[in-house]
Amino acid sequence: MISMLSVMAQALTDVDAANSTTTAVLTRTSEASNTATLANMVGGLIVVLALIFVLAYIVKRLNLVPSNAGVIKSLAVTPIGQREKVVLIEVNGQQYLLGVTSQQVSLIDKLDTQIDVPTTSFSSRLKQAKEQQ
C-alpha cells in the first residue's frame, strides 16, 4: 500500500511539473505575441505620422491652400522663372501688381480697376498642380 501511495505521489508531481512547463511556454509565447503587437502598432503610428508630414509639405510647397486671413491678400501668383514671379495683392481694397525675385520686391503697377480673380476649390487646384508636373 505504501508503494502504491508513493507511485501515486510521483505521478501527481510529474503532472504538476508538466503543467508548470506548459504554463511557462505559454507565458513566453504570450509575451512574444504582446511584443509583436506593440511593435506593429508603433510601426503603424510612425508610418501615419510620416504620411501626415509628407502631405503637409506637399500642400505647403504647391501652395494649394491660399491664406487670405490677413490685411494683405494674395489674389494671384504667376511664376516667371526659377525664383521670379508676378504677384497680384490687395491691401484695403486697392490692388497692386508686384514683381518678386529672390533679391527684391518691385511695384510694377498700382491698378486703378479691380481685377476679379475667380476662387477655385481645393480639388481643382490639385488637378491643376498635377497637370503642371
Tell which residue, 115, 113, 44, 60, has the closest CA to residue 86: 115
Q: What would the grid cell of residue 99 be?
A: 514683381
CA 90 to chain CA centroid, Å, is 32
Region 57-83: mean pLDDT is 80
At residue 42, the pLDDT reads: 94
Model pTM above 0.85: no
Q: Of 65 and 122, which is predicted with more confidence?
A: 122
Encode pLDDT of 33-54 as tens digits. 888 888 899 999 999 999 999 9
Tell which residue, 63, 66, 87, has the closest CA to residue 76: 87
Question: Which amino acid, 45?
Answer: L
Distances (CA, A) of 107 to 49, 73, 92, 101, 117: 42, 16, 17, 12, 19
Residue with cell 506593440: 38
At residue 29, the pLDDT reads: 66
